[in-house]
Amino acid sequence: MSSLTPLNAKPESLTELVLERLQEAIVSKQIAPGTRVSEALLADLLGVSKTPVREALLRLRHVGLVTAATGGLRVVEPSAETIRNAYELRAALERSAAVYAALRRADADAKTLIELAHTSVTSAEVGTPADFREADARFHRLVARCCGNPALESAIGDLRLLTSALRLRDVPDTGGSGGCAIEHVYVAKAIEAGDAPRAAQAMESHVEHVMQTVLDTLAQAQPTA
């Protein structure tokens, strides 16, 4: 953690900046899995007061990247169960979002979804992993927004933060982005057509496919006795 550098920002943006910096530190393992974290130490390292650190840690605990420990908090450790639980809940919520998006989306948003889906295909074929992750994030954020339910959109955002962080930290190279990108196209076309059952099935299958890919890669990476 000693490599964390101080932040410089306006007070109203500090909590988001602290949250972003801590998330990056967890993903990069600057703050190693299982590490106990304290408001006072993090505030000192980042050069901010304890208030934005406390607020950021509360968000990270709500999301699931830090958990309660005796006398404080610690960073969640790698776990197939944690990954499975997060993706199963995400699959259920994004299935619902796809249903409502198919029923409520504006024509302009439906067109943008198709464009983003094809952008993800191109990124998977000729771009970098970072290009694909950005296209993937934009696609899923728009589906969540199109559902017309801010509470559902917010819950999905939290789960995406958790699954993305765990995947980047614990399973950084899963491959298979081409197949995932094609699944985006299936989801987008079903939403554009207003076909809620097809959109639901396509989205649920997509998230479950990603989950299984991540779990399989994690299992292969673990040392055998």
pLDDT recorded at residue 221? 77
Strand partners, 178: none
Mean of pLDDT values over 39-43: 92
181 CB burial (10 A radius; 0-12, 13-18, 19+): buried
**What is the per-residue pLDDT across 1-27, written as a single tens digit (0 to 9) for each?**
656 766 665 555 789 999 999 999 999
Indicate the residue type of 143: V
CA-nearest of 125, 224, 220, 217 to 171 is 217
Tell me, what's the pLDDT at 177?
85
DSSP β-bridge partners for residue 75: 66
Is the pLDDT at 156 greater than 50? The verdict is yes
Residues near 27 by beta carbon (within 8 Å), at least 6 away in sequence: 165, 168, 169
| Packing angle, helices 50-63 and 14-28, rounded to 10 | 60
| Cα–Cα distance measured from residue 57 to residue 66, given in angstroms and rounded to the nearest whole number | 7
**Sign of the C-alpha dihedral computed for residues 191, 193, 198 and 202 taken in this order:** negative
- Rounded to an integer, what distance in angstroms lies between the CA atom of residue 88 and that of residue 94? 10
Question: What would the pLDDT profile of 56-66 be if each residue is shown by its tens digit?
Answer: 999 999 999 99
Strands 36-37 vs 66-69: parallel, antiparallel or unpaired = unpaired
* Residue range 194-218, pLDDT digits in tens: 999 999 999 999 999 999 999 999 9
66: closest CA among 48, 92, 50, 42?
A: 42
Rounded-to-integer distance, Cα 220 and Cα 3, Å = 31
Q: What pLDDT is stored for residue 225 in this prediction?
A: 45
- Judged against a pLDDT cut of 90, whether residue 71 lies above it is answered with no
Q: What span, in angstroms and rounded, lies between the C-alpha atoms of 123 and 129?
A: 8
Mean of all residue pLDDT scores within the chain: 91
Inform me whether the pLDDT recorded for 224 exceeds 80: no
